[in-house]
Structure 1
């Protein structure tokens, strides 16, 4: 399969996870472009990264990708964005990149489901529950954000509707998600975000009780005809807690996908929208174990996508073998595996659900375990990469001690 060349925009863990899947499946090396190098792909033998300082400029992106395609004529070029911004750029300009197979949704879906406020409107049509939500289009006085006027109690969650636009306007104290304990605090968060230049809606939500272990992640792959061909459910053990990484999965145990009551609703929604490519859903279950709430959809493979590959459902094979094969079968993963990108001991220490920890320990003992960065073909005879990976893993102990101290 040497005619296959994966090309990624971004250099983060998302990129490495996907590149590893391609290398495992077909023995091919990947190429990546981004504004700056990042630790997960540094010194890798399976990812050839090129720094392009203005890679987030769409004209630059088109030029770089056209040049790469011209240098690799006759090859099957697969193109993926590894961040919301890069994925959005590819979605918007896909028609101008005919040299590439870019499995992602049509441009019109970008405005329909990528933004949380609009996504929730689609969820309503398909009976997909989400947290009780108030949408704002501008700053308001704290008096307008009382619990009585919102219809739910404090503390509440505050976040931008469009994460793509949000990260384009950095400011001090910026976080991925905010928790407000009072109307005054909520009003200040909203005011600060709009003051940065952020142009879209803001989401205020009722907090769903429960810690990281109440989170679930669902990854789906839809072929070029809009048929959902694979779905994989993960039970989050613990998430990252740095300000910019809050909500990113650090460890996951895969579960029987058929056990999620929302699976068929989400499948019907994706197929009705004629969605194509990878979609990734953040879901939380409250104190009622039957009450699942969808938070958002990512129009790409998730950063933690190796949990899908580790379960036996290699995402590179999904793309290469199911994208345009004319089939209609949909595989729902039922295999259990313990995936982590932090040291296993960090996952065991900081996961609050001790029964889940014991289950993960058992899976590890049975050899049903995968750590994204510990990939032997990339570490063998590559001492600099080996040292880099060990340092990344070592630093996780300090990160969790600093940003998640309640479990010390």
Structure 2
């Protein structure tokens, strides 16, 4: 590490945040400072995170002030690395990048590119331009009378702007809806727009297949916009609670040369920098991988990347602190990652060949679980208790929601 002192400053408190902090601690032995509005179990009582509760951290003006105040407490020779661990925090960092980069290393794109990518509606226009496959899509605006989307029910209904959507929460809201007919569609649309959400809704052709048809691709692009790391995950299971749909719970890394080359070209042509994370689904009807969205940050399940041999903290530090010209690393070997007990994976994954592969990788020592970090658990009774209760809760949730 040389004589340079690094200090990660993270925004968030969920599994994403814990996994980033774990990557920094595993690689450099440093404790991360994290800011969030309230404590969350994923980062509570951790020895690798100094968690600071700031109820106003998502207020844009206060966000910048809180971070700059923190920066002033550190020596000038300390390298402060700022990373957002939710969409909202990533966007706040991007929108205030010019103010923040005076004190922090800020490995993010600018707000012009963000605006083209963050809302699904404009993202699909970019996909069209660069030849990325995506599901057939209809953009619905409040008050539209048409119900002819150009494809048949069932359809997926989700917000074009997920941050704004979750700022207008209501009882029974879902991250995404599978809608089977026009009556159900009308009911859901009325519910969403009656609670203050004003932007467009994305109506999409439902791609058949369960969690096992999903893929997640995480990439790191250096300061010059060159892709230096790609790690593709074959999703085995997602969470099935209404607000947790789409959160990956178990993954096996895999290699898909054509897909990865296509996304590498895409990222380099648009001039992307930092971490990108894509949600993709395999469509067995035409044999194509179709992208749903891009996250302008590392994904919630980023520990699958680190644990498979691609420590995400190392990429940022070597690129932005040591200014090294990194070699391109594409993950080829399979690795099994999970944030739920393996017993759940073995029970609910329908493709038993994938289950057998998980068991084989576990036996070979090619597996990892996000929360099982020996350093953090040793002598840490509260942390151990949290993980035990978390695992019990996951078994209960899958029994209730995973039909």
TM-score by length of 2: 0.96
Instruction: Give CA-to-partner distance per residue, 1:33-83, whole Å, 9 cap, x none.
Output: 111111111100001111111111112211211111111122111111111
After superposition, the C-alpha distances for 1:366-400 in whole angstroms (9 at most, x for unaligned) are: 11110010100000011111111111112110011
Q: Is residue 157 of structure 1 aligned with residue 159 of structure 2?
A: no
Deviates most, 182-191 or 33-42: 182-191
Structure 1 residue 340 displacement after superposition: 0.4
Q: Does 1:306 align with 2:303?
A: yes
1:131 to 131, 135, 153: 135
The residue that corresponds to 1:23 in the other structure is 25
Deviations along 1:149-186, one digit per CA (max 9) or x if unpaired, are: 21211111000111122111111221110111111211
Aligned partners of 1:177 and 1:260: how far apart in 2? 30
CA displacement 1:167-206 (0-9 Å, x = unmatched): 1111122111011111121122222222222222210000
CA shift for structure 1 position 265: 2.1
| CA deviation after TM superposition for structure 1 residue 342, in Å | 0.5
Aligned pairs (5 A) from 1:347-362: 347-362=345-360
CA distance in 1, matches of 2:118, 2:320: 22
Q: Could you tell me how far apart the structure 2 residues matched to 1:107 and 1:292 are?
A: 28
Question: Who is 2:313 aligned against?
Answer: 316
Report the counterpart of residue 92 of structure 1 in structure 2: 95
Equivalent residues of 1:224, 1:323 under 8 A apart: yes
User: Structure 1, residues 109-128: CA drift from partner, whole Å, max 9, x if none?
Assistant: 12101111111111111111
Match of 2:221 in 1: 222
Match of 2:174 in 1: 175
What's the Cα RMSD here? 1.4
What secondary structure sits across from 1:264 in the alignment? helix
Q: Deviations over 1:282-304 (max 9, x none)?
A: 00012258311111101110000
Separation of aligned partners in 2, 1:289 and 1:15: 37
**1:84-123 matches, cutoff 5 A:** 84-97=87-100, 98-123=102-127
Contact 1:6 1:79 in 2 (8 A): yes
Bigger drift between 385-394 and 299-308 goes to 385-394
Residue 348 of structure 1: SS of its match in structure 2? helix
CA deviations on 1:230-266 (whole Å, 9 max, x unpaired) are 110000000000111111000000112xx25322222
Tell me, in whole angstroms, the C-alpha distance in 2 between the residues paired with 1:382 and 1:135.
50
Q: Report the Cα distance in structure 1 between the residues aligned to 2:186 and 2:260, rounded to whole angstroms.
A: 36
Question: 2:51 maps to which residue?
Answer: 49
The 5 A counterparts of 1:332-347 are 332-347=330-345
Aligned to 1:68: 70
Question: Which of 266, 281, 284 in structure 2 is aligned with 1:284?
Answer: 281
| Unpaired segments ≥5 residues, structure 1 | none
Q: How does 1:239-318 map to 2 (within 5 A)?
A: 239-256=238-255, 259-288=256-285, 290-318=287-315
- Asked whether the equivalents of residues 215 and 235 of structure 1 are also in contact (C-alpha less than 8 Å), the reply is yes
Match of 1:368 in 2: 366
2:318–2:324 Cα contact (<8 Å) kept:
no
Mapped partners of 1:44, 1:166: distance in 2: 31
Where does structure 1 differ by over 6 angstroms across 4 or more consecutive aligned residues?
Answer: none
Q: Which residue of 2 aligns with 1:36?
A: 38
User: Where does residue 61 of structure 2 map in the other structure?
Assistant: 59
Q: Distance in 2 between matches of 1:254 and 1:134?
A: 32
Q: For 2:123 and 2:162, locate their aligned partners in 1 and report how far apart those are by CA, in whole Å.
A: 13
More deviation in 324-333 or 7-16? 324-333
Return the alpha-carbon distance in structure 2 between the equivalents of residues 365 and 273 of structure 1: 42
Identify unmatched segments of 5+ residues in structure 2.
Answer: none
**TM-score for both structures, normalised by structure 1:** 0.95
Is contact 2:217–2:277 with CA below 8 Å preserved after alignment? yes
Q: What is aligned with 1:238?
A: 237
